[in-house]
Amino acid sequence: MKFICYKEFDDPEEPIHPGIVYRNKVLPLARVLAVAEAIHPKGLTVPDSLFEVIGLLSTYAAAVKELERESKVLPLIWQEVGVTLAAPLPRPNRIFGIGRNYTEHAKETGHTVEGEPTVFLKASTSVIASGQNIVYPAFAEQVDFEGELAVVIGLAGSNISEADAYRHVAGYTLLNDVTERIMQRRDQAKSLPWFRSKSIDTFGPMGPALITADEIKDPHNLEIVTEVNGDVKQKASTGEMVFKIPQIISYLSKLFALEPGDVIATGTPSGIGPLKPGDTVTITIPEIGTLSNQVIAAVEATEL
């Protein structure tokens, strides 16, 4: 199931609605479930909290598949019009970044892979949707793209075993871990966290959709490609990750409880590079879609 969030008519006053994409049509999740309940009653509803919705995605996906078997029903559900996509999680619970998780990327930044995952936090307020603009701050010296596969947690848990890790995954999406590289290097030189260089507003493009876990048979057998203005900059297999997804989930859950709506950015391959205003950066995993954003210059900014 391809889960999305959307607004109607791009009105900032409008609430964000959960939906699915079926045959390139945006269908409200509540409408789909109402039809599913009429045919196969299970007591399914759409809660008000988006995090609760994320926690129920596996159940919803099963209901949608059941509707698909009723081949004459799902195509008849009327679609929304005037839709503007939001990020599949417009304000994630938390964004955990995994640094240097591809050997060649570690080398290009002058580092080696550590014996355990390198973890940092990225502000949830950095998140924007596919199609929205990455704003290049006036104070920035070098803003880099980093294309990544992101894991969305659906089932809460602590001390999760690697064998049980996938049971806690709601699905997968794409994330561009945009980074102010010079700021990051200065902070690293002072043994400071990476947080501010990763968390500037608009530095977390995410989307275009969340693909439920049942649709991705092997998340370590996906090709990820990042392009800038149509030129390929990154191309790798997610199988090249040093720390695999079950290891990462288990490791994080031993430090702090994972909750529905947590996002784990699994690291970027080699080939990172700078962006400038006017550039368009796209990240593609065919099984998930394409995340595309243009870079624009900030109209107003404050020196740091």
- The DSSP result for 159-208, as a single string, is S--GGGGGGGEEEEEEEE--EEHHHHHHHHHTT--SHHHH-STT-EEEEE
Q: Which two tokens stand for residue 125?
A: 């307020």
Two tokens, residue 10:
């791009």
Cβ proximity of 224 and 277 under 8 Å? no
Helices assigned H by DSSP within the chain: 29-39, 50-55, 57-69, 103-108, 181-189, 195-198, 245-255
Give the CA distances from residue 302 to residues 98, 136, 182, 298, in Å, rounded to whole numbers and listed in that order.
29, 12, 17, 10
The CA-to-CA distance between both ends of the chain, in Å, stands at: 43
Residue 301: the pLDDT is 45
d(CA 158, CA 91): 22
Residue 13's pLDDT is 78
pTM: 0.95
In degrees rounded to 5, what are phi and psi of residue 237?
-100, 140
Would strands 2-8 and 17-22 be described as parallel, antiparallel, or unpaired? antiparallel
pLDDT score of 105: 77
Position 300 scores a pLDDT of: 53
Q: Could you tell me which of 219, 231, 220, 222 has the C-alpha nearest to residue 271?
A: 231
CA atoms within 13 A on the CB side of 31: 17
pLDDT tens, position by position, 11-55 = 777 899 999 999 999 999 999 999 999 999 999 999 999 999 999
| Closest CA relative to residue 84, chosen from 24, 6, 16, 11 | 6
Region(s) of the chain under CATH 3.90.850.10: 94-297
Q: Which CATH superfamily is domain 94-297 in?
A: Fumarylacetoacetase-like, C-terminal domain (3.90.850.10)
The low-confidence residues of the chain, meaning pLDDT below 50, are 301-303
Q: Which of helix, strand or coil describes residue 95? A: strand
